Amino acid sequence: MHLEKNRIIRAAREEDIEVIMAVLDAARCIMRSSGNPSQWPDGYPTREMIEKDIAGGFGYVIADSQTTVGYFAFIPSPDPTYSIIYDGAWIDNRSSYHVIHRIASFPHAHGIFASMMEFCLQRDKNLRIDTHRDNKIMQHNLQKHGFSYCGIIHLLNGDERLAYQRIP
């Protein structure tokens, strides 16, 4: 895998939870400072969500020289919040896919999204992701990495998200 020098992506472990929570806090600050004040309310993602990611084998840490700098969840389909899409359609709604959730990094870590994409594309070519309307940084990364806007989905709590898919 061609990643940044000394960068690795590995399955998250229970002993990583504290640093993962710090990464999520840092990402929340990045969102707030870039004009996205409400995507991740304080305490979200919860520790329990991260524990569930890890227990299911879906949580991954991104490390530079053995120091954790990022986190994401890579979850196989189906995702119940993606079953109904409004004002658009999935490019491919028949094939299995993976969903990328909870992408986060420390502000000093660069190229995290590209490294994560390289990792994910080696495992599945059909990827889905959603983001908040105010998350311009994520929308830029999605466009840069070949995702197509598909429509609007609603989270389990009813919040609206912009939905994207990337297929070969």
DSSP states of the chain: ---STTEEEEE--GGGHHHHHHHHHHHHHHHHHTT--SSS-TT-S-HHHHHHHHHHT-EEEEEETTEEEEEEEEEESP-GGGS--BSS--S-SSS--EEEEEEEE-TT--SHHHHHHHHHHTT-S-EEEEE-TT-HHHHHHHHHTT-EEEEEEE-TTS-EEEEEEE--
User: Is 84 a member of any domain?
Assistant: yes
User: Is 13 a member of any domain?
Assistant: yes
User: Is 1 a member of any domain?
Assistant: no
pLDDT tens-digit profile of 79-115?
A: 999 999 999 999 999 999 999 999 999 999 999 999 9
User: Is 64 a member of any domain?
Assistant: yes
Per residue of the chain (168 residues), give pLDDT as tens. Answer: 445 568 999 999 999 999 999 999 999 999 999 998 888 887 899 999 999 999 999 999 999 988 999 999 999 999 999 999 999 999 999 999 999 999 999 999 999 999 999 999 999 999 999 999 999 999 999 999 999 999 999 999 899 999 999 998
Flag whether the pTM goes above 0.85.
yes
User: Is 101 a member of any domain?
Assistant: yes
What pLDDT, on the 0 to 100 scale, is given for residue 117? 97
What is the domain range of residue 14? Answer: 7-166
What pLDDT, on the 0 to 100 scale, is given for residue 3? 55
Task: Identify the CATH number of the domain in which residue 36 sits.
Answer: 3.40.630.30
